[in-house]
A and B are shown apart, each in its own frame.
Chain A
Amino acid sequence: MNATARHRMTAAVRLLPLAVLLSTAPPLSAQTSQRQAAPRNALVYFHYPLDGLRVPERFTVRIGLKEMGVAPAGVDKPGTGHHHLLIDTDPGPPDQPIPSDYNNIHLGNGQTEVVVTLPKGTHTLQLLLGDHTHTPHRPPVMSQKITVYVR
């Protein structure tokens, strides 16, 4: 992930819910209304690792969440959600369920940490909270995209 894209990501986090996340995202889709509301000061963040850190191939990602609670997927409760760890990928459109694949790791049982194994090199990590249907909240509760160096 190059520097400009990262810059755009952080700017997008600040400008939400305008949420023109990527040039490829449908420009008006963010207005869909079924998404759960999130408190304005809600924040998801990394306890570990931090941006720019060198990490071993196998490490534990520890996740912090401010002003909201964690609930397993499928549990419909206001002010809660479950974590998703995005590896080397950008968030999709915010009104769509987060895909489930090797780059979008769902912590559907309410986990707040996950052990990941990554090949050597530079990787990006980003956290995104999803509601009971795996759809991001409104506004999306999302961390900065961080870069780690796997040695």
Chain B
Amino acid sequence: MRRLRLQLIVGVTAVFAAAMPASIAQERARTRSPAPAGAKLAFVDLQNNARIASKVTLRFSITGMEIAPAGTARRNAGHHHLLIDTELPPLGQPIPSDFNHLHFGGGQSEAEILLSPGRHTLQLLFADHDHVPHDPPVMSEKITVEVMAAPEEKPRTTAAPNAKVFFIGLQDGAVIPPRSVVRFGQENIAITPAGTKQDNAGHHHLLVDTELPPLDREIPSDFNHLHFGRGQTETELTLPPGEHTLQLLFADHEHVPHDPPVMSQKIRVRVQEASATAAATPPPARAASGRTPAPNDAAVYFIYPRDGTRIFATSTIRFGLRNMGVAPAGVVRPNTGHHHLLIDVPTPPLDAAIPADLNHIHLGNGQTERKITLPPGKHTLQLILGDDQHVPHDPPILSERITIYVGAAAKRSARR
């Protein structure tokens, strides 16, 4: 197959050589550097009619010749040029330098390019120190690639058809004070912090006085689109007096709504000064969930290992905790909790005590690290803080679920 293509290239070259005006061919014949007969230029791992992402790294392979930076005259050497959406330039002159003719004069053999969605042609052309193609020219087949539009590339995270989100204790048409706590509920779908990828799971977004954003891309983050990326289920909202609309929209680890989208009804609320509403609707009590409140900016995270890394079978997992303190189980102290290390299990229900078994390791004495032994293979780890009764806080303080690999580095060599 490859040999056949090469013959094709040689054939095309011959046609070009014949088509060139004889005078130019003769005049330039002296100045063009010779190329060996067996020289071959091709794209690595890129076939004709391939479908690619708009941002793609292309790799070039040259055989039978060497790469030398532009300006360095050397026998059987040259540097790459990438022709995008263009025909071959005149072969007797230096290759133009513009958006359609990319020069790799530093001797690069790969390049990251950005292409608009649609069909494009790509071709490689080797040239000497003066950017003039060799004689005979060394070039690749001209291939056509199709760039997929970005949103189609990646399927949206799925949601259960009966999943729903709703406001708790807040009806359409309600009258609320300027500062009030809004609580969210969800059914048939799990809460995970932003960044943790899991089917039928995600985090809340509150849309204030705005229409639904496009459902096939990331929800904007601004005063009208509030993100609750740490899995919060309530927020204190401050609104000016007047009519406002509120709507909940659930979204996945990358803030993209699910398929099908999980959203609440859009409700209208009227905000009135406290004096007028004192009797009407008292704001819901803080942490009405009954769970221990936690600071909004608290976070738990892995100091070691990092996501995606390979670790020894027996390793010490180290935990970090920001803006809260550690206390042993059973100790009631505001803004404290104790760590739980979850191994290879999904996030447990956040309104009940964290189970205690081999997959849910309790660090009940206030430990901030734990030595564990895992069998070879792929594992997931997640940290979640529990209060004195092992119940997650409100908002829950949980880390991203990280993936780690145990055992010999076989995967890395296989990928290459």
Chain A: residues with CB nearer than 8 A to chain B? Answer: 47, 62-66, 68-72, 75, 77, 79-80, 107, 109-113
Contact = CB atoms under 8 A, between A and B. Distances in A.
Interface in B318-344: 318-322, 324-328, 331, 333, 335-336
A110 B365 contact: no
B282 to A, nearest CB: 31
B303 interface: yes
Contacts of B303: 47, 62, 64
Given A109-B335, A110-B333, A75 B327 contact: yes
Contacts of A75: 327-328, 331, 333
B245 interface: no
Interface string B361-373: 0010111110000
Contacts of B366: 69-71, 77, 80, 110
Contact of A71 (B324, B326, B335): B326
Most chain A Cβ neighbours within 10 Å, of B336, B363, B365, B366 = B366
Contacts of A69: 326, 328, 363, 365-368
B365 A66 contact: no
Interface in B276-321: 303, 318-321
Contacts of A112: 319-321, 325-326, 368
B295 to A, nearest CB: 11
For the complex of A and B, the 5 pairs showing the least CB-CB separation, nearest first, are: A110-B325, A69-B366, A69-B365, A109-B325, A70-B326
B358 to A, nearest CB: 20
Contact of A110 (B318, B320, B327, B369): B327
Given A69-B365, A112-B368, A80 B328 contact: yes
A65 B321 CA distance: 13
Contacts of B367: 65, 68-70
A69 B326 CA distance: 8
B305 to A, nearest CB: 13
A109 B336 contact: yes
A104 B78 CA distance: 65
7 contacts: A71-B326, A72-B331, A75-B333, A77-B328, A79-B365, A112-B325, A112-B326
A70 B327 contact: yes
Contacts of B328: 69, 71, 75, 77, 80
Contacts of A47: 303, 318, 320
Contact of A72 (B321, B333, B363): B333
A113 B321 contact: yes
B274 to A, nearest CB: 33
Given A62-B303, A113-B320, A72 B365 contact: no
A111 B331 CA distance: 14
A111 B322 CA distance: 8
Given A109-B333, A110-B336, A77 B365 contact: yes
Contacts of A110: 325-327, 333, 336, 366
